[in-house]
Every structure is written in structure tokens, then in C-alpha cells.
């Protein structure tokens, strides 16, 4: 009878200890994901959004589809971009991801490597 009580007490302590270690590991995994994946991505998105908001008429840009052009007009959620003489397109601000000068510098940097 005493052995049975002792065994139940030991099992209860072991189970509770493993539950705490499980939750501690889950919290540590979440913290690692946050600092190495989530936080840098949100920071990058905020920088990109600020860059888009700073674009103005006359800036040379590259769209997500790889189209190079010059901003002719800035609207609330879109840009009117001139891509050739008398050829303009209307694109979402979200699809313009880089200033063309920044893109050219990035390409030149990759070619040096």
C-alpha cells in the first residue's frame, strides 16, 4: 500500500516536471522564431513601405514584374509610370518594390562577386 502511494507521488512529480519543461521549450522556440524570422521581416516591410511613400514624380522605379519606368503621377494607392515614349501604365504601389538606381547598384554589386 505504501509503495503504491509512493509510486503515484513520483509519477505525479515527473509528469509535472515534464509539463514545465515542455512549456519552457515552446516559449523558447517562439522567442527564437520571433527574433530571427518575424521581427526582421516586419522591419523590412516597414522600410519598404516608407520607401514607397517617399517616391515622387520623376523617380525611376522597377516593378515586381521587372518593368523599368519613371513615375509620371502619384495617386493614393497607385502610380502612373511611363515605360516608353507615350506609353504609360497604372500599377499598384505594392508592386513597385525598388528605386531603379537602387536596383542598378544591387545588380552591379552582384556582378562584382
Instruction: Kindly state whether residues 59 and 111 are assigned to the same domain.
Output: yes
Rg for the chain, CA atoms, rounded: 28
**Same-domain status, 40 and 68:** no
Check whether 9 has a pLDDT greater than 80: no
Number of domains composing the chain: 2
What pLDDT digit, counting tens, does each position of 76-95 carry? 889 999 999 999 999 998 88
What does the block give as the cell for 88? 504609360
pLDDT at 8 over 60: no
Where among 53, 70, 90 does a domain terminate?
53
Q: What tens digit of pLDDT does each residue of 25-66 get?
A: 889 999 998 989 889 999 988 988 888 888 888 889 998 888
Identify whether residues 44 and 73 lie together within a single domain: no
- Amino acid 14: pLDDT: 53
> Which SS3 state, helix, strand or coil, does residue 75 take?
coil
Residue 7: which domain range? Answer: 1-53
**87 vs 108, residue with greater confidence:** 87
Residue 35 carries which DSSP code? Answer: I
Within 8 A by CB and 6+ apart from 74, the residues are 55, 56, 57, 80
Same domain? For 46 and 87 the reply is: no
Q: Are residues 96 and 110 in the same domain?
A: yes
Amino acid at each position: 500500500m505504501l509503495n503504491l502511494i509512493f509510486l503515484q507521488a513520483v509519477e505525479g512529480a515527473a509528469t509535472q516536471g515534464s509539463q514545465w519543461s515542455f512549456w519552457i521549450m515552446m516559449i523558447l522556440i517562439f522567442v527564437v522564431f520571433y527574433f530571427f524570422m518575424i521581427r526582421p521581416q516586419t522591419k523590412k516591410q516597414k522600410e519598404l513601405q516608407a520607401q514607397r511613400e517617399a517616391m515622387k514624380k520623376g523617380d525611376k522605379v522597377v516593378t515586381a514584374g521587372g518593368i523599368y519606368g519613371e513615375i509620371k503621377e502619384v495617386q493614393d494607392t497607385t502610380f502612373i509610370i511611363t515605360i516608353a515614349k507615350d506609353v504609360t501604365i497604372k500599377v499598384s504601389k505594392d508592386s513597385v518594390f525598388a528605386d531603379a538606381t537602387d536596383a542598378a547598384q544591387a545588380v552591379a554589386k552582384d556582378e562584382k562577386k
